[in-house]
Structure 1
Amino acid sequence: MKNLFAFLFISSISFAQTNTEIHLFDIKEVNGNWIATNAKNISNNDGYDSQPHFYNNNTILFSSNRNGEIDIAKYDVISGSKTFISNTPNGGEYSPQRIPYSKNISAVRLDKNGKQRFYKYDINTGENSELIKDLVIAYPVWLDKNTLISSVIVNDTLELFISNLNTKTNHSITKQVGRSLHKIPNSNSVSFMKKNKDKWEAWSLDPETKETKKITNTGTTEDVCWLPDGTLLIPYQKTIYKFNPKKDKRGSLFYKFKDENINNISRITVNKNGTKLAIVAEVSPRALAQEQLEGYNKRDIEAFLKPYAKNVKVYTYPNKLSYEGIDEMRKRYAPMFEKTKDLHCKITSRIVKGNVVIDEELVTANGNTFKALAIYEIKNGKISIVRFVR
């Protein structure tokens, strides 16, 4: 049980600390090339926003940070409005999806006491009830209104299960699976991700025969989705690749994003018509560097530390480790913020290259002004390494 909850917290809560946004695009194929237009940040929210799901062609569900809690948000594509379905002060909801042939939705609920359960929610009132009581479901997909395919936490791994809600039976299929599960268009099969050493593979499952079959390798990518014609979309960093198992021998370019606010694409989904694409991406490295700067100039220790990883490493350039960890950073900066009333940093030059930000700074402290240069490296949506050039 101890290992189960340790894994539960690692897989859900620690990931939820990453600052991500959900971007929506219109997509279409023009002369054999796919284009993405009318970009819109539909979450536009500080903190974790992820796991988008098209409730219908014009409504998107997703998990969204609200006052430090993760609730189910609903976005109306036509009006551009966002409302919340759930309000769970002692926990949060993840993986919201529409239950087939129903207006209701399902979601994984994670309580602060570590209990993880699978619930049904009324889309209008948020009233809820537990659906499956004897499995710790992490990532689900509905095959039909009575059949659920899900990645389930078993000891210290994820295991693929088929659950029949009518007969209340659960059947284990395979182990070492991932979080991305989808119905495969024009078939009765479901795709799931399987770990092979340190790489991911996309597999198919026939729920009737229980047969599984490898589709393709996806490398380090663990999130995929399908176009209506049966083409698999595979994101990697700022690019999405496509692969049709029925006619392609290898993957090819679907679309490459140039917006610096789109980094390390993870969750990805397409509406039923194949006209809209929703992606989850980490915020711009520029935004993280700016966030810590503003906290610094306000002498607000919590705001300053927020963009940093818990295990942040601080070096004197190039590779002399000065200290490690956000707790040590707090010990060093909190007294300075308290005592140095004139503390201020002005950026004279900022260069952003990939996941690296280079700031030339003019720092004022205790009546003195001096130049400094800081290099920030971003990983998983947080500043993980800082190098100061003395």
Structure 2
Amino acid sequence: MRNILFFVILSHFFLSSAQTDTEVYLFDISTENNELKLTNQRNISNNPGYDNQPYFYNDNIVLFSSTRNGQTDIAAYNIRDNKIDWISNTLEGSEYSPTKIPNQKAISAIRLDTTGKQLLYSYDFETGKPKVLLENLVVGYHCWYDKNIIISSVLEDQSLSLVVSDLKNKTNTTLQKKIGRSLHKIPNSKFISYISKENEQWEIKSLDPISGETKKIINTIPGAEDMCWLLNGTILMPKGNIIYKFNPKTDKNWSLFYTSIDLGLGNITRISTNSISSLLSVVSDVSPERIVQQQLDAYNARNIDAFAATYSKNVKVYYYPNKLSYEGIDNLKKGYASFFENTPDLHCEIKNRIVYGNKVIDEELVLMNGEKIKAVAIYEVENGKIAKVTFF
């Protein structure tokens, strides 16, 4: 009866939301019964804060931007050795969107200085030595067509423009206004793909950087703009907790590939694959369960600062169904600080836990002052913090 009641309660709280604390995950891509499967999931960043924009330097190294010591540097994850090395350590700025430069042991990345200056740099893969690539363009995102031609999303007039830069001839040509961030070489072709935002319905288009010719491939999933190409010509595009797939050669419409719930992840925002499509990397918001577990660990340690750090500034605490008990982080700290101080035997044990979307529902057995008390708590996580708690 106890378990039945617990699961009946869950039906009131099945919603989802996004968070900002992100991690980079890696999967193997395999084929089973002519269907693509994702296996061997691992967290390759495993780092508090911002970890994003994965790119395969080769079939053994994944580049990504990662926060450390208050700045964002370029990390290089070695798959074989399960080890992270750092390419950059720029004290006067941070790096984003690392990308391999063709025919060089070097990468390119956007550097945002503490002064606000933003330029595209190259970095020697071994030494990390930087060099400006494009002097006068505020590049937001980029990809390489060949060793001399860069395709960029450039910040102009408060939006992004599609610019083709020829390093050899030192020219920059703007081809279109209002584009997205996702730029990729299309496998087995001479084309680049980009997201056009000229119309209300965004479109994936192909570009011939030499002639400037463009052609529509398909409309994006509404509101989505990140994607990658598999070697067989399939496009993968995530939105929220779903990854969609579409192959222009065989498909008429988008179809479901995976959901983040299937993978045990949160909201998926970025996606990347290696050159032979044997590996897939995605960026996901940190799962609500991790935030709630951090809260529980701090509770059991009676550490008020660590406990409060898991809650949003305007957290609201209710008694079921909707009776507001109190609101705000200051009130939460005031109540729990004295509670922690006066309850030396305090300990919470989780008897049951369900995670769905942005909600974590815990059935708890709490020891306090020699007594054990049963409770159910529903934690709702938004932007990486607990924004609402409902107690039963």
TM-score by length of 1: 0.83
In structure 1, the partner of 2:3 is none
Structure 2 counterpart SS, 1:57:
coil
Q: Aligned pair in 2 of structure 1 residues 216, 126: CA closer, same or farther (>3 Å)? A: same
Equivalent position amino acid for 1:270 in 2: T
Match of 2:295 in 1: 292
Alignment of 1:159-170 (within 5 A): 159-170=161-172
Q: Which residue pairs with 2:212 in the alignment? A: 210
Q: Which residue in the other structure is 1:37 paired with?
A: 39
Q: Distance in 1 between matches of 2:200 and 2:74?
A: 32
- C-alpha distance in 2, partners of 1:289/1:339? 21
* 1:318–1:387 contact (8 Å) kept in structure 2: no
Question: Residue 230 of structure 1 aligns with which residue?
Answer: 233
User: Percent identity, aligned pairs only?
Assistant: 50
* 8 Å Cα contact 1:235/1:241 also seen in 2: yes
Code of the residue aligned with 2:97 in structure 1: it is S
Greater displacement, 270-279 / 36-45:
36-45
Structure 2: unaligned runs, 5 residues or longer:
1-18
Instruction: Give the C-alpha shift of residue 62 in structure 1.
Output: 0.8
Whichever residue aligns with residue 69 of structure 1, its letter is Q
For 2:248, the aligned partner's letter is: P
Unaligned runs of 5+ in 1: 1-16
> Which letter maps to 2:45?
S
**Residue in 1 aligned with 2:278?**
275
- Could you tell me whether the CA contact under 8 Å between 2:260 and 2:267 is conserved in 1? no
Give the distance between the partners of 2:294 and 2:118, measured in 1 at CA. 33
Q: In structure 1, what residue type is equivalent to 2:285?
A: E
Alignment check: 8 A CA contact 1:261 1:282 kept: no
The reply to whether residue 333 of structure 1 matches residue 332 of structure 2 is yes
Report what 2:307 is aligned to.
304
Work out the CA distance in 2 between the residues paired with 1:310 and 1:111: 29
Please give the per-residue CA displacement for 1:131-186, whole angstroms capped at 9, x wherever unaligned: 11211111111111221111122243222221222233222222332222111112
The 8 Å contact of residues 348 and 365 in structure 2, kept in 1 or not, is answered as yes
Q: Of residues 356, 359, 377 in structure 2, which corresponds to 1:356?
A: 359
After TM superposition, the structure 1 stretch with the greater mean CA deviation from structure 2, 199-208 or 23-32, is 199-208
The alignment of Structure 1 onto Structure 2 pairs a total of residues equal to 369
Which secondary structure does the structure 2 equivalent of 1:144 belong to?
A: coil
Supply the RMSD in Å over aligned alpha carbons.
2.9
Question: For the residues of structure 2 that align with 1:234 and 1:277, how far apart are their CA atoms?
Answer: 12
Say which one has the larger Rg: 2
Instruction: State the structure with bigger RCO (CA 8 A, min sep 6), 1 or 2.
Output: 2
Deviation at 1:278, TM superposition (A): 1.1
Q: Which residue of 2 aligns with 1:135?
A: 137
Instruction: Look up the match of 1:118.
Output: 120
Aligned residue runs from structure 1 range 43-62, under 5 A? 43-62=45-64
* CA shift digits 1:19-54 (9 cap, x unpaired): 222221221223321112222221122222111111
Q: Distance in 2 between matches of 1:316 and 1:166?
A: 67
TM-score normalised by L of structure 2: 0.83
1:88 aligns with 2:90: yes
Looking at structure 1, the residues matched to 148 and 95 of structure 2 have their Cα atoms a distance apart, in angstroms, of 21
**Distance (Å, rounded) in 1 between the aligned partners of 2:325 and 2:156:** 40
The answer to whether the 8 Å contact 1:347/1:359 transfers is no
Greater alpha carbon shift after TM alignment, 223-232 vs 287-296: 287-296
Tell me the equivalent position of 1:6: none
Task: Check 1:260–1:288 CA distance in 2 against 1; reply closer, same or farther (3 A cut).
Answer: farther
Matched AA of 1:29: T
Residue identity opposite 2:292 in structure 1: A
Name the counterpart of 2:70. Answer: 68
Kindly report which structure 2 residues correspond to 1:1-16, keeping only aligned pairs within 5 A, or say none. Answer: none
CA contact (8 A) 2:308 2:333 kept: no
- d(CA) in 1 for partners of 2:311 and 2:201? 28
2:304–2:337 Cα contact (<8 Å) kept: no
Distance 1:194-1:299 versus aligned 2 partners, 3 A rule: farther
**Aligned residue type for 2:332:** Y
